[in-house]
Amino acid sequence: MPSIRIMTDSTADLSPELLQAHGVRVVPLLVQFGEETYHDGVDMDTGRLFQMVTERNQLPKTASPGPGLFRSHFEEATADGSQVLYISISAKFSAALQNARIAAADFPGQVHVFDSRNLSTGIGLQVLHACDLVRQGKSVEEILADLETYQAGVRSSFVVDTMEYLHKGGRCSGVAALVGTLLKIRPVISVVDGGMIVAAKVRGPRKKALDWMLERFAEDAAQGRVRPERVFVTSPDSPHEDAPYMVAEIRRILPEVQEVLVTRAGAVIGSHCGPGTIGILYATR
């Protein structure tokens, strides 16, 4: 039986250490400032991104690489006869899935493309779960069937600290951004059905918004729904000042959790959420 290689894109926000440990290959998405194009996680990270946004007073555009680049990644990964499972950012957020499928058509039965219907480490959870299944000796068909169920249980929520990026990115009006700032309203963004929704608008100290997310986690944990293998705390900031509090609370709520992984979001995700954002991402059953 040929080996199975798991591949994803840079929006999965997995650390270099995790990628290396699990043998995951990454296709970088693109960040564009005017005529300048950068590769997420290669020559652009969130530190540089936020500095450029401040200096230029504009947000970059983000884009998927074309089918040709996906094809070259697939060619390299399948050269020894291996099968490839590419787990993509949600089709509602990027053309990556569509472009990957176009490229995969040149590798019938060898390259398989799966829509995570998520973003950031909401994708990362599915990628690492697929790696677990590969180690268990599952076939590609078995992994795809399992991921369909696993995917539906992934919970991804983020507290957005500043409304500036949402405003500049056209995701809220100037009035809404101003009112939100003046009233200290902190939106909690969640991923539902492959898209983003405002799950809550928490007014007051930042900790109230963090606790809102942790309360949802605690509700799932109390019902025995949280899968204990791993929970992610993800932010475009490194380190994020609230990460230790989030990790400690997660371990208090779910003592049997095997790993609480703190990761840094990449430039594509950071360009949409802005600095200060922090999220909790986990899988339920």
- In degrees, rounded to 5, the angle at the alpha carbon of residue 238 between the alpha carbons of residues 232 and 242 is 65
Q: Helices 206-222 and 243-253, interaxial angle, to 10°?
A: 20
Token pair belonging to 140: 């590609």
Residue 95, pLDDT above cutoff 70:
yes
Tell me the β-bridge partners of 8. Answer: 26, 87
Please list, residue by residue across 140-170, b when 16 or more beta carbons sit within 10 angstroms of its beta carbon and e when fewer do: beebbebbeebbeebbbbbbbbbbbbbbbbe
Strongest mean pLDDT among 57-61, 175-179, 192-196, 243-247? 243-247
Are the C-beta atoms of residues 128 and 21 closer than 8 Å to each other? no
Task: Look at residues 114, 98, 262, 119 and name the one whose alpha carbon lies nearest to residue 197.
Answer: 119
Tokens (6 digits) for 278 = 């922090």
Q: How confident is the model at residue 177 (pLDDT cuts 50, 70, 90)?
A: very low
CA-to-CA separations, 222 to 66, 166, 172, 255, in angstroms, rounded:
44, 34, 35, 12
Structure tokens at 226: 């949280």
The tens digit of pLDDT for each residue in 99-120 reads 999 999 999 999 999 999 999 9
What dotted CATH number matches 154-283?
3.30.1180.10
**Rg (the chain; Cα; Å):** 19
The confidence score (pLDDT) of residue 159 equals 93
As a whole number of angstroms, the distance between CA 213 and CA 19 comes to 27
Considering only the top CATH level, what class is 4-29+64-151?
Answer: alpha beta
Cβ contact 107:78 at 8 Å: yes
Query: What are the pLDDT digits (tens) for 235-273?
Result: 999 778 999 999 999 999 999 999 999 999 999 999 988
Q: Which position has the higher pLDDT, 204 or 224?
A: 224
Asked whether the whole model's pTM tops 0.75, one would answer yes
**Residue in this structure with the two tokens 């371990």, named with its chain if needed:** 251
Q: Domain segments of the chain: what residues? A: 4-29+64-151, 154-283
pLDDT at 176: 41
| pLDDT value of residue 242 | 95
